[in-house]
Every structure is written in structure tokens, then in C-alpha cells.
Amino acid sequence: MSGLIQLLAPLAGYVLPLEEVPDPVFAQGLAGDGVAIDPTGEVLFAPGAGEVLLMPAGRHALTLRLAGAEVLMHVGIDTVQLGDRGFELLVQDGAKVLPGTPLLKFSLDVIARGARSAVTPVLLSPTCGASITRRITGRVLVPGDLLMEAVAQSRTAPGAGTTSSGAQLQQTFVAAFSHGLHARPAALIAAALQPLNAEVTLSVSGRTANARSTVALMALGVRQGDVVTVAAAGADAAAVMVALRALMPVAEKPVVPVASAPQAAKPSSSGAPQVLPGVIAAPGFAVGVAVILAGADREVPAHGADAQTERTALQQALERVRTALRQRQSAATGTAREILDTHAVLSEDPELLQRAQQAIGEGYGAAFSYRRASRSLAAQLTLLEDPRLRERAADLRDLERQVLAVLAGEDPHSVPALPEGAIVVADEILPSQLLNLQAGKLAGLVMCAGGPTSHVAILAAARGVPALVAMGEAVLQISSGAALVLDADAGQLLVNPDVPALSAARSRLQARAARADQDTAQAQGPAVTRDGTGVAVLCNLGGIEEVAAALAAGAEGCGLLRTEFLFLDRREPPGEEEQTAVYRAVLAGLNGRPLTIRTLDAGGDKPIAYLPLPAEANPALGLRGLRTSLWRPDLFQVQLRAMLRAAQHGPCRILLPMVTEPNDLQQARAALLRARQELGPGPLPQVGVMVETPSCALLAEALSGSVDFLSIGTNDLAQYTLAMDRLHPALAGRLDALHPAVLRLIRMTTTAAHRQQREVAVCGALASDALAVPLLLGLGVRELSCVPAMIPRIKALVRGVTIAECESLANAALALDGAPQVRALARDWQSQRGLFAEVA
């Protein structure tokens, strides 16, 4: 069944596309699809014939239920904080109205003084089964003008078709959202449930609503601090509880099974072997035993002593946490220090403290108030499009865990003692917990949640600890002490392996260790193929403190200095003097070896707080890399001047990221010449471009004539070639730069560059991938810039091959259909030559 629905303009004003609404919940369509009106009038009219549903949370929003659709009209942004001030309802709940019936009067003056914006979203509920086929935007309308057309269809909402098969669970939460369950948090809950396969209801005070419906949740009238009960039935019932725990504090600890039902596959407590897939956060291989790490949630009383006592307790707890963080910062380096710095900054965040103090003033205890404030801010972060910012919510949860531990009279950094070969299993491992785990006994990490760009993932990779994330609820069923084989190179965990599998895994581990010792002993020598071709093996660096370890691993220089570490997690950009000093320090540490400095690669998955970018429907295709620098020439000019000044003290070259056409390069060169003129006479460093897009590879010959070298960023080149977000957990297993389409673009780039007598480097992940190195050599690459830990292995591989053999391998790979076939070919090829026998 389907039918056309015509919606009339309910307000006089200018109609905006939804993405221009100054609020991420509405702009991203989490509350529903539609348009927004910047009003010039002060009366809201019915856009069609239907039944009025009023919102108990306030008069600023109401819903009209039409035949086949529900229309939510939300007057203004953040108007819930006005309460009833400035609003006058003209209809009663349940009233039947005709098109054009006046529903609500409001004061634009009150909204302008007390709310963020008067822009009014007009939305179709995502659960009503109607889809918009036409919308009018970019013009002024008056009430009664056509606004939208939609088609009503009989369909099942996403995830709502689940019956009682699978788990049936129940959990109570505290609605800690400021001003209760209004549009923003209601939409956040509905969006979190959208991909999950379960029926979910939320109940309070005897009233129940479909938790997937923003309108239904708002209609419950849930107030801040109310205890709500969530019931979920279906295959993803447990995942529902995990998702909601990130948005609301748990009111009582256990998740209660409400009915017996067939369970999804999980590791058998009887010891039957099982393979569980995961997303690779840090590569590697480990054999060990499961150590279960308890989750961060703890039971805290809602109420405490008087407000002054609770405020004092919170201040003392925060000071103790800060003191512990400062002590650990003084001994930390690199990524660990950056994480501790982040936590120290968060511990002094005024908004976080203000929200906690406000809750204490409302009668809640210190621990409950701090948790509520932390979860509220974390929920806002999860609304953001950028994965890196969403994953900063984990840092808030980490700080919350530390503060609540102190309030409970415990050590904020206590972790369990580990046995030898411990593979830690958890819902989510927080950065401070990982920093405190005994490094010598920690063999690996596996997590139910988490992401590949989280602080824990970065920290694990820096420490050489293999880790898998986003494994789902099945990993939480692993028994303490169970034997595990963690293959974070292949993205899988073998639980309870049988005797032959365990023996094979241990043999493989021993072979890897023996090979690593041999490679390390020869790491300082040059990488020359058996037929005499030299290959430069350099390192990728993300800070000064990484230089010494890279040189110890055999790095012949730096092929990529990521300058983002100077710009991130601060309130203002680094000045010219600071940048110059850092670049000079890296040069000094390299002791005459070459340094390649990449200009700021901001945007996309590297946002910067003081560099607010315009709203973008797809940031990966917007202002990224060099585009951002050209958009902000003030920052670009400062960085170029610093690079030129540093280049006077050692071999230094400049690398430009995200170049897509010659015009990009021309603008960047003009900026570099201006910087040279400002500083006075002097030589210009070599300039190269990163090949990260198909357009750059296709134009490689034209670009090669205007640059000194090219460097291929295989991570982004694979993303843009295969049209897969490289930060999307569901696509992590399919996004592989060894895909023949990517390899063909690499071949195209090297062929074009060699015609112009320019060398091509690879600085992306493929340069650190042992299976990929012979292929890259066969495709014409003669410079590899790797993560320092892989340099000894990469050099050993180069010494074991001839260029002719590699060219034959590359030609065979280019004829294949997909990355799995290429990896199988490369694995067999290396195994036959005894190059990498421990690869499974």
C-alpha cells in the first residue's frame, strides 16, 4: 500500500535544507527526514489534516499524526530550556485538525534571547514508513504553500521486524539528559538502535513507547533523573544494552534475561574451538590465556550527603586524579603522554564540572552527578560524523572511571595482575587501564566494542600489542583462563583451539620470534635486492620522541613526518617559532639522514578544534589535506616558513597531501615562493605530492614534471578507489590496498613518474605490510616509509628477492580479481621462497 501525502508550510519563513540546521541531531537526520524553516511569522499551523500529539516535555514541539505519516514540528533549537516561556498552545492533545488550523503561538523575541536559533525543523518520523519524494527549499514560503510531498508505504522499520527469537533482556537506566528526553536525546537513542536487530521498548511510570521512535520517546515525558526500563528482544538484544550504556547511566548493574530463547552463537564453555572475527586495531600474533577485565560501570547511589559535602568530595577526587595524571605524565613519552595530556585537560573541563555541580545542587550525589555529566557530554560526541571525535567519548568514560574509583576510596589506576601470556578480554578497554597493564605479561587485547582509531588502538600499536576491536557480544562469553590464539594480522580470534591448532600456533609464534631476532641483528645494513637494486627503507614519524626507536630499528631517514601532532588537542595553532624548533629537533635526531615533512593534513578523520570546517555531508570528500591549507593560507604560510627555516639545518623535503590536480600544486608552490621571499634569499627544498586519489594517479605524468618526487598514501588511495570509508568497522575486512584496482593505479603512477625521471615512494600502510613489499618492488617502487617496528622485517624481505622475480609476481597479481586472491598469491610466493614461512 502506498499513497501520496502533501504537507503544507506550517510557518512563514525561509526554507532550509535539513543539513543547514545548526544542530547535528537534526542536520544528520537522526530525528527524521524533512526540511527546516527560519521563521518570520509567530504562528505554527497544521501542515495537513490529522491528530495532534502534544509533548509533555514542553510546548516548543508537537506532532501531527496524518494518514500514513507523523510530522514533528520543533520550534527553534535548544528551546526546551525555555520551558513554556514564549509559547502558547492553541489546541489540546488529541485534537483533530484540518490543514491550516493554528496550533501554537510563540515569541521570536523570547527565542532569540534564550535559545540558540529559531530555525524550526519539520520532520517525518523515521518509523512511520513514509519517504519524501519532493521538498521545497531555498525560498520564502507562507503558511499553506506546498512544502513537501511524501509517499506512505506499508513497511517494517529497520530492525523492528525481529520477533522473540534470540535473547530477551531488560535493563534499567537513569535518564541523565538535561531537560529530560526531548528531541535531541530521543533522536540519539533512536539512531543508536537503528542498525540493531531487536524489538526495543522504553518504559517509565507505567507508560511504554517504541524506543526507535523519536516522537514516541518524546511523548513519554521523561524528566531528567527518571529511572526508565528498556526491554529488548532479538538477536542484537545484548548489543542494544551496550549501545544504551554509552548514552545513559545504568540504574542497576545486571542485565536481566526476561525469557529463555535460542541464543546466538557464542564461545562454548565446554571448550569447543571457535573462530571469532574482529576489526584490526593493532596487527600481530599472540598465543595465550584469557583474562577478563571488568567493565567500567559501577553501582553508585543517586543521592548523597548535603550539596557542600558532595561538592568538596568531587573536587578532592578530581585533584587526586590530576595529581596521579601529572605523576604519570612526567615518566611517559609519545602516544602515552598524549593520552595522559588529554585526560588532564578533560579533568579541568569547565563544562563537565559545571554540569556535575549543577546536578549536585539538584540533590544528587557526587559520583552520580559526575557520571551523569560525563555521559551527557559523551553522548554529544557520539552524534558527530567524524569517527576520531566520536571515539574521544572513550576518554570521557576513562576519566569517569578514575574519578568514581577515587570517590569509592580506591586507586584510580588499579588493574588486575596478569599471568604470563595474558590476552585481555573486555567490553571496552580504556586507555588508562592499558597503560597500567603489565607490559611484559600482556600478549594481546580483544574488545567487544571500540574502534580502530581509538586511543587504545593507537596505544596498542605503539606498544606492539596485537589487538582486535568491535568483536561483538560473543567475545564477552569467553571464560577466564580459556586458551586463545589471537591473529590480529588476519582479524580473527581462535577460542579454545584443539591440540594440533595450539601446537601449530606456538610453532608459528616461535618462528616469528626467531625471524625477528635475525632481522633485528641485520637491521642497520642497507636493503639491497639479490640482483643489486638498492631500496631506501625509511620511517613514518608522529613526533620527536619516536626518532631514537626508528633509528635503532634501522631507519635510513624519515619518509613521512605527520605534523598533525603539533596541531591537535590544543586551543590555538602552533606558531612559527614552535614549529621551526620541532622540525629542527627531528632533523638533529636523524643526524644527517633525510627528513620529509608533510604539511598539515587536517579535515576528514583529522579535525582540529580551532579550525572549524564548514558543515560537510561527506567530510572525506570535502576540505582535506592541501585543500584545507589553501583554504586557510594564514596557517599554511606559517608552516611553510617554519619548514624553510628548518631546511637550512639539514636535508629536508616538503610533502603535500591530498593533491588531486596540477592547479593544487601550482597554488601550493606559489605559497612556498611567497614564504621564501618573506624570509629572504635561500634554496628551496625538494617538493613532492602524495598520491592518494585516483585523479592524482591518472595525472601522475603531468604532476611529475612539476615536482621532485611522489609518495603514495595507500590508505586513502584504497579508500577512494574502492569507495569504502577506511574508518568504517563493517568494511574493515574488505578495504584492502592489495586490491588489483589499487595496484594498477600504483603501476600507473610509477610508470609515469619514471618517464619524468622521478622516484616514487610508498608511505602508506602497504609499505609496512610484509606481504605487499615484493609486489611494490615489482610495480616500480624504490622507497618505502614504514612504521619503525617493521623496518627490520622489510629490509630482510628486500634482501631475499630479485627485481625480476618481483615484477613477475606483480604482473600475476594485476590479472587477479580481488585482494584476497592477491594476498593468497603473495603468501604462497613468499612461502615457496622461505621468505615468510610463519605467515598463516
Give me the active site residues, please: 455, 763
Contacts of 145 (CB under 8 A, 6+ apart): 8, 9, 136
Sign of the Cα torsion 797, 801, 807, 809 reads negative
Contacts of 409 (CB under 8 A, 6+ apart): none
Q: Cα(372)–Cα(249) distance, rounded to whole angstroms?
A: 7
Q: What angle do CA 814, 819, 823 make, to 5 degrees?
A: 90
Q: Cα(838)–Cα(456) distance, rounded to whole angstroms?
A: 27
Contacts of 578 (CB under 8 A, 6+ apart): 566
Cβ-contact 747, 814 below 8 angstroms:
yes
Residue with cell 637491521: 523
Cβ-contact 71, 63 below 8 angstroms:
yes
Q: Which of 339, 343, 451 is nearest to 403 (CA)?
A: 343
Indicate the length of the chain as a whole number: 840
Strand partners, 33: 124
Q: Cα(218)–Cα(220) distance, rounded to whole angstroms?
A: 5
- Written as one letter, the residue type at 738 is L
Cβ-contact 380, 177 below 8 angstroms:
no
Q: Cα(239)–Cα(245) distance, rounded to whole angstroms?
A: 10
Cβ-contact 403, 318 below 8 angstroms:
yes
Give the ranges where 332-365 is alpha helix by DSSP (H). Answer: 334-347, 350-361
| Rounded alpha-carbon distances, angstroms, from residue 176 to 160, 354, 381 | 26, 15, 15
How would you list the strands of the sheet with 102-106, edge to edge? 43-45, 102-106, 87-89
Question: What is the crossing angle of helices 366-382 and 183-193, to 10°?
Answer: 70
Q: Which of 484, 506, 486 is nearest to 495 (CA)?
A: 484
Residue with cell 600474533: 285
Displacement of CA 774 from its chain's centroid (Å): 32
What string of DSSP letters covers 194-257?
Answer: TTS-SEEEEEETTEEEETT-HHHHHHTTPPTT-EEEEEEEETTHHHHHHHHHTTS-BSSSPPEE
Q: Cα(413)–Cα(319) distance, rounded to whole angstroms?
A: 14
491: left (phi over 0), alpha (psi -120 to 50) or beta: left
Contacts of 611 (CB under 8 A, 6+ apart): 567, 573, 602, 628, 632, 635
Counting Cα atoms < 13 Å in the Cβ hemisphere of 789 gives 12
Cβ-contact 457, 434 below 8 angstroms:
no
- In angstroms, the first-to-last Cα distance of the chain is 53
Q: Which of 193, 391, 381 is nearest to 281 (CA)?
A: 391
Residue with cell 520532520: 123
B/e letters for 522-552, b = 16+ CB within 10 Å, e = fewer, are ebeeebebeeebebbbbbbbbbbbbbebbbe
